[in-house]
Amino acid sequence: MIELFLVRHGEAAQAWGQHEDPELSSLGCSQARQAAVAVDAAAPKELVLVSSPKVRAQQTAEPLAELRSAPVVVQPAFREVPSMTDLATRQAWLQNLMRSHWSEINDAAVLEWRAQILSNVAAIGHHTAVFTHFMVLNVIVGHIRGCDKVLQFWPDNASVTRCRVIDSELVLVSLGAQMDTQIN
């Protein structure tokens, strides 16, 4: 059995539609430390740390990396959903995507992004913490549930969703805390 901890990044200093790659806010840094303590307490001793290349995800991984004296492997497959729109229209594009079903999507870049996430999750062979994004978590949870809806849940900043790989099957153990407000 393989333990998988999926950690959404802490609160970003700017909204997704305002900056290409924002850092964490001061609250986001605090959330990252809290997530690190929670994962450290629950995770097996041998734990691989993997992060999206986005700064906010890497910064969320840093406290656990320090606690574990472990490197963080950057894995582009766990980046946020690629948007071919400019910053001004990105929020509306994302809201439309979240109302969709995977069977309705014909954007090749988005479908390839989803396929890469699922391929990389399937290839995980060690206890792993993945520091990633809202939509990545929804891809993984939707796959586990066998559900075609893009939006599965509203993972809060620095929430930890737990999964296990049992006999090559990905199983949802628990969803992380969910947010009360819109994504930032």
Question: How much is the pTM?
Answer: 0.94
For residues 87-125, one letter each, b for 16 or more C-beta atoms within 10 angstroms of the residue's C-beta and e for the rest, the string is: eeebbebbeebbeeeeeeeeeeebeebbebbeebbeebe
Range(s) of the domain holding residue 43: 2-80+126-174
Domain assignment present for 101? no
Read off the pLDDT of residues 90-145 as tens digits, 9 standing for 90 and up.
Answer: 888 889 999 999 999 999 999 999 999 999 999 999 999 999 999 999 999 999 99
**Percent of the residues in the chain that have a pLDDT greater than 90, as a whole number:** 85
Question: Average pLDDT of 165-169?
Answer: 92
Q: CATH number of the domain that 55 lies in?
A: 3.40.50.1240
Domain count, the chain: 1
Is the pLDDT at 57 greater than 80? The verdict is yes
